[in-house]
Structure 1
Amino acid sequence: MYVCLHCPLPMAGYSTERLILCPYTEADLDDLMILWNDPLVRPLVVDDDIALRGQKLKDALHSSMERAAFGVIIRLKTTGEFMGQMMVTVDPETYEGVFGICLSPKFWNNGYGTEATRYMVDYSFRWFDLQRMTLSVWASNTRARAVYKKIGFKIEGRRRGSVRRSNRWEYIIRMGILYEEWAAMNSLRHRYS
């Protein structure tokens, strides 16, 4: 565990080589609002052209972070600067985790998303006893798809023409990784062998 100066004590954050992953607090809502309303981020995280604003967006962001089995605010270790958010929700009946990440454009193309995603997937498999981790990503989000593929996620399906955005039909790609695949790639003990 890493004690984060931006997290209210006695809460602690987790750390990677370059990142601090802090527990979410309501004090993070303003940063999340700015992130989710960024014109570069917005088309990658919502499925409509109508933007939630003000209190409705704050309520939606707060609710999603509160429902997460593991929801964190991503900060740059060297400065403590807000970078984004990441979360996993868990279905206790199917042992499936659903992953999501949202990173500020300022930090794109530097490997931070890969570093954060790798940590979150590893943590979730180790501590939540998951059988699989899944996610959904827009087909047009090639940057995110490359990160997920690098981590070991495989395409499991496509929802073609599922949402109309900006006067065109967009499709969603479903990706997943099984515990056994993650364990093999990361020298983890196989649970059932």
Structure 2
Amino acid sequence: MFETERLILRAYRDSDLGDMLRLRNNPVTQRLMTHDYILPAGIKYIESVQKWATESLFAVIVTSKPGGDFMGLCHLQVPSRKNRDADLGVAFLPEYWGKGYGTEAISFVVEHGFRWLALHRVSLVVYEGNTRAIKVYKNLGFREEGRKRKANWVDGKWEDIIQMGLLEDEWPSSPGVTHRT
């Protein structure tokens, strides 16, 4: 278990499954988590959560401090260990948006990845319509590296899928980041 100023980041427990389904089945959050159809998640999602918890390099459930309320999740997956490039994933329930919790969790996870997991880079994919997340990522030093144009059909229109990345030697100079020693 890890702690930041306002958060507890801990391992997944089977008792989190209901909260994970609540996060995934919320149409507002689901459209930001996948470019697949917006459908209620069922048994296949349950299997994917269990796989996510065991196969991610670093996966945490984000809870509030001191209450321990489920807020969301954050993880690093490494498709190819040779290149030390991890894919960042993050999702929070809407009631926690706009309060800096995502920034706090992502900052911790990215720093942990560079400092303790020997990552060289952290990559992510974000949808063009998720302007709040794009702003957070840019404030943490992520740079746009590519754009898959009109690749996601959402709310009756096409939007781009944006690829962003951050290198280990860029992290200490990222604006707005408070580093732990």
TM-score (norm. length: structure 1)? 0.86
Q: 1:48, 1:165 within 8 Å by CA — same for their partners in 2?
A: no
Corresponding residue for 2:71?
A: 83
2:163 pairs with 1:177: no
Q: After TM superposition, where is structure 1 displaced by more than 3 Å over at least 4 residues in a row?
A: 184-188
Helix, strand or coil for the counterpart of 2:119? Answer: coil
2:117 pairs with 1:149: no
2:16 pairs with 1:28: yes
Where do 5+ consecutive residues of structure 1 fail to align?
1-12, 189-193
Corresponding residue for 2:60?
A: 72
Helix, strand or coil for the counterpart of 2:83? Answer: coil
Aligned residues: 176
From 35, 44, 49, the counterpart of 1:47: 35
Q: 1:86, 1:100 within 8 Å by CA — same for their partners in 2?
A: yes
- What are the within-5 Å matches in structure 2 for residues 95-134 of structure 1? 95-134=84-123
Larger Rg: 1
Corresponding residue for 1:14?
A: 2
What is the CA-CA distance between 1:187 and the residue it aligns to? 9.3
The superposition leaves residues 151-185 of structure 1 with CA deviations (integer Å, 9 ceiling, x where unpaired) of 11011010001132343222110000110000334
From 126, 135, 156, the counterpart of 2:124: 135
Amino acid of the structure 1 residue aligned with 2:141? G
Q: 1:158, 1:174 within 8 Å by CA — same for their partners in 2?
A: yes
2:34 pairs with 1:57: no
Helix, strand or coil for the counterpart of 1:78? Answer: coil
Where do 5+ consecutive residues of structure 2 fail to align?
none
Helix, strand or coil for the counterpart of 1:109? Answer: coil
Question: Distance between the aligned counterparts of 1:133 and 1:172, measured in 2?
Answer: 17
Helix, strand or coil for the counterpart of 2:82? Answer: coil
TM-score (norm. length: structure 2)? 0.91
Q: Equivalent pairs: percent with the same residue?
A: 38
Q: 1:156, 1:176 within 8 Å by CA — same for their partners in 2?
A: yes
The superposition leaves residues 90-133 of structure 1 with CA deviations (integer Å, 9 ceiling, x where unpaired) of 23111101101000101011000000000000000011111111
Question: Distance between the aligned counterparts of 2:38 and 2:143, measured in 1?
Answer: 31
